[in-house]
Structure formats: structure tokens, C-alpha cells
Chains A and B, each alone.
Chain A
Amino acid sequence: MSLAAEVLGNGRALLGKAGSFTLFTLRMLRVTPRALLRPSLVIAQVFNTGALSLVIIMLSGLFVGMVLALQGYDLLQRFGSTESLGTATGLAILKELGPVVTALLFAGRAGTSLTSEIGLMAATDQLAAMEMMAVDPIRRVCAPRFIGGFISMPLLAAIFGMIGIFGAQLVGVTLMGVDSGQFWSQMRGAVALKDVTEGILKSIVFGFACSAIAVYEGYHAVPTAEGVGRATTRTVVTSSVAVLVIDYMLTAVLL
């Protein structure tokens, strides 16, 4: 096959997949209000995707904040402006690293578990059994998981940001000796509400994308052990790329 034909074929497959994903997401959104009538199912998924991801998010947030302060301190020291460390770390974490790193971790921790769970349900005929019991699996299985992930992701990003700033303060102020007053007052002075809302908006969009991709891949997994494995991998890869691409576009629009 010539390169052009291959590129064309891949492009067509990609377009087909994008179309199928859009249709699936719309179908899921249509049944979302009915899924919300069963809050217990949604709360269980907030727990699964959110509460169970807390440890990894908090640990990562702490270390990302700490390393950011170390690097930031080293950089700012060259210009003699280490007192700006609070501003630098605060902006970086709230606008960029908080939502993005949380979304990447979310895809790896919660997204994969959503995909493999739904994929295994399909492989063991559980989804087909639901259809036979006149229960729409998209409403009963997919929608609550999607909503749960959508709710969890911004909350996790907020916690990540908080712990990250704490980590930055820990290294910057306690370890490297930046003045505590300078650190906090410069951060308060430079970080505007707009910066915080930018981060929140990003984490909401990432939550939507990561949850929808994870649920889509699980629902469309080839119902075999290998198929579910591949779907899980696709969830991580697609979500990660999607997060980074969306991040660039959102940043370009919001700046």
C-alpha cells in the first residue's frame, strides 16, 4: 500500500472512530438525566473514581509541588528574585500542572478501571443480559460511571493543587529559606481569580473527556481478554493525548 493510501485509510478510520465516539457520548448524555435519578449509583462511582484515587493524587501533588519549588528556586536565584517563588509555583500549579497531571493520573488510575470493568462485563455477557432484561446498559452502567468521573476529576484537581502548593511551600520556605511572608503575599498578589477559574475549567473539560473516553473504550472493547487489555491501553493513550491537545487549545483561547 502506498503511503498516501495508508494515510488516507488511517485518516478515514480515525474519522469513523471520532464519529462513533461522538454518537456514543450524545447517547450517554441523553440518558444522563435518568441516570441522575439513581444518585446511589452515581455516588458509588464518585467513590470508585474519586475517593480511591485520592492517595495517588495527593502523593503526586505533594512531589510535583516540591520539585517545582526546587527548580523554581534554582531558576529564580539566578535572577535574584527568589521571593517570586510563590507566584511562579502558584500559577504553574493552578493553571497548568494541577489539571493536566491530575487528568493524566486520573486516566491511568480511574479511567483504566472504568474501561476494564465495563469491558469485562461485556465479555461475560452481563451487558447483553441487561439488554435482555430491558435495562439499557448505557443508562445503568455507562452513564453513572461517566457522571462519577466527571464529578471526581475537578475535585481531585483541586486537592492536587492545594497539596501541590503546600509541597512548594514546604520546600521553598522551610527548606530553601524563602521568606514565608513574601512567598504567600506575592502569590496572593499575582494569582487572580481568572487564573483559578482557568484551572477549574480545564479540569472540568478534562474530566468530561477522560470519563467519556474510558467508558466508550470499555463499552466497545472486543469481548475477549486481549480485547479488554487493548481497550484499557487505548484509554490511557487516547486520554493522555486528548488532555494535552485540549490543554493547548484551552490555554490558547483563555490566555
Chain B
Amino acid sequence: MTGPATAAPSPGAADAVVSLEGVSYAVGGRSIFDRLDIGIERGKVTAIMGPSGTGKTTLLRLITGQIRADAGRIQVDGTDVGTLDNDGLYRLRRGMGMLFQNGALLTDLDVYENVAFPLREHTNLPESLVARIVLMKLHAVGLRGAARLLPGELSGGMARRVALARAIVMDPKLLIYDEPFAGLDPIALGVVLRLIRDTNDALGITSIVVSHDVHEISALADRAYLLSGGRVVAAGTPAQLNADASPIVRQFMGGLPDGPVAFQYPAPDYAAQLLGAEVPR
């Protein structure tokens, strides 16, 4: 990471690349996070899991400084994200790569130009070198042959692989994946799973994977956090989480429809509403 180290790493998380201490965040009066503590270890694949709507993507936006926390401290490689101005954030993000759920490829550029985009924006490398780097990254995700296809011509899995190639083209130290498995067929899913692991280990980077796919995370992550109700309800290796006896962890890891996370969204009394034939307001 290129940002200046302004503070000591958080206590108890000496090797944490990303640390959140007592982070609270609310939108429109609704609390999303309440004094959240999370540490992401260097060199590991850490999963952030939780039911839909627990603010997993919001957490990523907090870490990358797209939104600011109401309280608490978020440090990335020793830099307090909350104190950075726009230029500081851009400097910090040069050391990060992020994979969006849908790939977020630039639709008017082909695959090659999409992967070359960060290089062209941030460096003055000669075209021959840009070509070599782009082809290496595309080869790593198995899409060297698709260099001249447009994003519209790619399948969902391919688009995500191109986005991964783009995310690693600047050799980041931290890679963030937002729901990398959503909507993929089993083959594409296996490919993405392997790519995340291999990328992490081969490049010696740190990965954060946000997902609610229990099975995939169990196979991939070194460590996982389970969020619910704005707090961490369980943390540990996937095996530890699978063995956890608390009801919320059991419900989530076992995929049970009802439990502490209710199947029904809060609503007025069922019988009263039907008999009164009230139209929901």
C-alpha cells in the first residue's frame, strides 16, 4: 500500500491489513453496523458472510472509503481511511483491487482495453509493455483468446474473470471480491473459486470475499466472519463456524428457513390483516 503509515496497527491485530474498531454506521436512522470489530489478516483469504441485507457490501464501501463511518476507526495497512481526503483515498485505492458483483466492465471498451485501463490511467508504460502485462493477466484467468471481445459478448463467469484480471493488473496488495459466486454455473464457479485461491497465494496478497454461499466459502476461506444485526455473531475458520452451536450460526450455515433470522418480514397480525382486508400501506 502506498499510503503513509500514520498510526500503529490496532492492538491484538498486529498483522491485520484491514482493521475495523468499534465501527458504527447508520442510513436514514436505521443502524447498519453497531460497534463492529473486524481484523483481516495479511496473506489470508477472509470471508465476510451474512444474510442478505446485513450490510456486507456496505462494509466493503466503508473499507474502500466510498462512504464514511459515523463512529469508530477503519485502518487499511495502518492508514486511517476516515481521515483521508479524496486524493488520499485515490492513493490508497491504487494498492487495492476490487471485483464488483457484475464485473462492472467498461462497456465501450473491449476486454483487452478494460484490463489495460488502470495501466493507461496511472502509468506511462510503452505500448509493448502494456500488451505484455495485459496478456499475462488475461492468460492467468484463461481469457487471453478473448482479448478483442466486447463485454456484451461475454458470459457472466467470463465477465467476472476479466474483472479479476483488471483488478490484479496493478499488482494490488489487497483484493476485495463482492459476491464473486452469485449467478455462476458450477463450472464457472469452480474456476472463480480456484482463481481467488491461486491469485491470493501466487501473488502473496490479502483477499476479502463477501458472500453468502456457505459451501464455497467453506472450501475457500482461511477465516470467516458471520455478520447479523449489525454485529459479528461468529468468527473463526469455516470449520469452527460449521461446528458452532449458536442458533444464528446454525441457521445460516445450515440454510434453515426460520430461526433467529425470521422468514417473515415484520408485519401486522396476519389474521387481523386478512379479515380487515386492509391494503398494506
Q: Which residues of A contact B (CB under 8 A)?
A: 121, 124-126, 128-136, 140
Contact = CB atoms under 8 A, between A and B. Distances in A.
8 nearest A-B pairs in the assembled complex, by CB-CB distance:
A129-B104, A125-B104, A134-B90, A134-B93, A132-B98, A134-B94, A133-B118, A135-B121
Contacts of B86: 136
Contacts of A134: 90-91, 93-94, 118, 121-122
B128 interface: no
A128 B66 CA distance: 9
B24 interface: no
Given A131-B66, A132-B64, A126 B104 contact: yes
Interface SS, A side? helix
Interface in B77-100: 86, 90-91, 93-94, 96-98, 100
Given A125-B102, A128-B66, A133 B107 contact: no
B122 A125 contact: no
A34 B96 CA distance: 24
Interface of B: 64, 66, 86, 90-91, 93-94, 96-98, 100-102, 104-107, 117-118, 121-122, 163, 166, 170
A130 B107 CA distance: 13
Given A124-B107, A134-B91, 5 more contacts: A129-B100, A130-B106, A132-B96, A132-B98, A133-B166
A134 B2 CA distance: 12
A134 B84 CA distance: 14
Contacts of B121: 133-135, 140
Contacts of A126: 104-107
Given A124-B102, A125-B102, A140-B121, A131 B107 contact: no
Given A133-B117, A135-B121, A128 B90 contact: no
A215 to B, nearest CB: 16
A133 B175 CA distance: 12
Contacts, number: 52
Contacts of B117: 133, 135
Contacts of A131: 66, 93
Question: In the complex, which of the residues A125, A129, A136 has the most CB atoms of chain B within 10 Å of its own CB atom?
Answer: A129
Contacts of B104: 124-126, 128-129
Contacts of A124: 102, 104, 107
Which of B64, B98, B121, B166 has the most chain A CB within a 10 Å cutoff?
Answer: B121
Contacts of B101: 125
Nearest to A132: B98
A113 to B, nearest CB: 13
Nearest to A27: B86
A129 B98 contact: yes
Contacts of B98: 129, 132
Contacts of A128: 66, 100, 104
Contacts of B102: 124-125
Contacts of B90: 134, 136
A55 B90 CA distance: 42
A125 to B, nearest CB: 4
B177 to A, nearest CB: 12
A220 B102 CA distance: 21
A128 B101 CA distance: 12
Nearest to B122: A134
A133 B166 CA distance: 9
Contacts of A133: 93, 117-118, 121, 166, 170
A238 to B, nearest CB: 26
A136 B91 CA distance: 12
A85 B86 CA distance: 59
A130 B94 CA distance: 11
A7 to B, nearest CB: 27
A134 B102 CA distance: 19
Contact of B100 (A121, A125, A140): A125
Contacts of B106: 121, 126, 129-130
